[in-house]
């Protein structure tokens, strides 16, 4: 049986971050775990009740001049890199780990090994409300992700994608 334990309250102080830029706004209710593995650039907004779930390994990096909407959930076990001038709508989830599945049907999935894969969102992207970005995905520079999309694979730069799973709608240039 697995031992369960608390990850803490999510309360944080600015000096706990690996790096914290100037003019960073944390709205009421933001929770941060493992701030020692989180780097945030200058002029970043983090909306009400967002959860930045740092991890004991790998880093979460949020570039300067980016905006994160309320109720977002970022889990950076595999690492998250968010570029500069990125807009992330309310309720977006970024996931970087999943349980390994194979033909063993006897072992409960929740007890299986976890596989970690980084998520990268390059500069100048817009991520629509309620989008889910799955482990291992890179979203190329200047791309727009439609609201409610589930991004399961890489997105080429300057693309507009939407849907579940997200599919190319058009190129921006």
Alpha-helical segments (H) within 37-99: none
Q: What are phi and psi of 69, to 5 degrees?
A: -75, 170
SS3 assignment, position 14: helix
H-run or E-run covering 119? strand 119-121
- Residue among 7, 34, 48, 99 flagged as catalytic: 99
99 is catalytic: yes
Dihedral angle at the C-alpha atoms of 163, 119, 87, 124, nearest 10 degrees? -100
Active site residues: 99
């Amino acid at each position: 049986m697995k031992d369960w334990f608390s990850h803490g309250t999510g309360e944080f102080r600015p000096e706990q971050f690996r790096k914290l830029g100037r003019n960073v706004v944390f709205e009421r209710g933001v929770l941060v775990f493992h701030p020692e593995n989180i780097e945030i650039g200058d002029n970043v907004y983090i909306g009400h009740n967002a959860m930045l779930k740092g991890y004991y390994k790998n880093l979460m990096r949020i570039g300067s001049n980016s905006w994160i909407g309320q109720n977002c959930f970022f889990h950076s076990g595999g690492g998250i890199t968010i570029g500069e001038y990125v807009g992330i709508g309310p309720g977006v989830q970024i996931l970087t780990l999943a349980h390994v599945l194979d033909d063993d049907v006897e072992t409960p999935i929740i007890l299986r090994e976890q596989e970690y894969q980084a998520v990268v969102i390059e500069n100048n992207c817009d991520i629509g409300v309620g989008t889910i970005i799955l482990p291992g995905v890179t979203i190329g520079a200047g791309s727009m992700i439609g609201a409610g999309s589930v991004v399961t694979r890489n997105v080429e730069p300057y693309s507009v994608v939407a849907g579940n799973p997200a599919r190319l709608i058009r190129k921006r240039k």
